[in-house]
Amino acid sequence: MTEPSQDPVSQCLIELEQGDELARDRLLSLIYDDLRALAGGIFRGGGAGNTLQPTVVVHEAFLRLVKPREDGGYNGRKHFFAVAAMAMRQLLANHANERRAAKRGGDREREEMHTAIAVDEGSRAIDVVDLDDALTELTKLDERLARVVELRFLSGLTVEETAEALDVSERTVQKEWQLARQWLGVRLGGGSKS
């Protein structure tokens, strides 16, 4: 466990881990606006087929985030928000999968986000579930590359903010962002990864 920090969010996370039930309410009041901004970044450019609202995603993600963690908790504010981005991505993908499963017949309604993932292409729509599948695959290949995508694309963090969250240099983030975008461009475009 880490030492208590002066950061109120990190302090609330420690108190929550120690079983302080009131810490959950304090934590929500401290981070609600940040979580809304994170959800807003994820929803920015979303397609018309998306039926979830950012507020619903924030509340659902928060409930998941404050459950006891098997790995011993969060290592501060940065770690919490990185996990929040992953939780929101999973919520969106799960929602899209559930909507597809509810449809009868072979029709598949795509929930799309507009993105400029591929380096050499303009903005194009990509399927939320396809993106989630690709990020899951990328996580198996290189976890930090997937984290860079989550933080830069899904969370809307700047290169500087991503570098700080991952505790790496801005140059590293720029290189890994470019590499991840190329890999995802090929993966989401249906081509080979050679």
For each successive 10 residues of the chain (194 residues), what is the average pLDDT?
A: 66 89 91 83 55 80 84 78 82 77 53 46 63 89 90 80 88 95 84 44
CA 106 vs CA 23, 50, 102: distances in Å: 47, 20, 11
Q: Against a cut of 0.75, is the pTM above it?
A: no
Q: Is 17 inside a domain boundary?
A: yes
Nearest Cα neighbor of 127 from 82, 64, 190, 53 is: 190
CA 99 vs CA 22, 107, 144, 187: distances in Å: 35, 11, 30, 24
pLDDT of residue 55: 83
pLDDT of residue 104: 47
pLDDT of residue 90: 81
For 56-104, the pLDDT digits (tens) are 888 888 888 888 777 667 888 878 887 888 888 788 878 777 776 666 4
My answer on whether 124 and 63 are in the same domain is no
Q: Which two tokens stand for residue 6?
A: 């002066």
Q: Is 93 inside a domain boundary?
A: no
pLDDT of residue 26: 93
> Domain of 31?
1-77
Placement of tokens 């017949």 in the chain: 105
Q: Is 62 inside a domain boundary?
A: yes
Q: Is 94 inside a domain boundary?
A: no
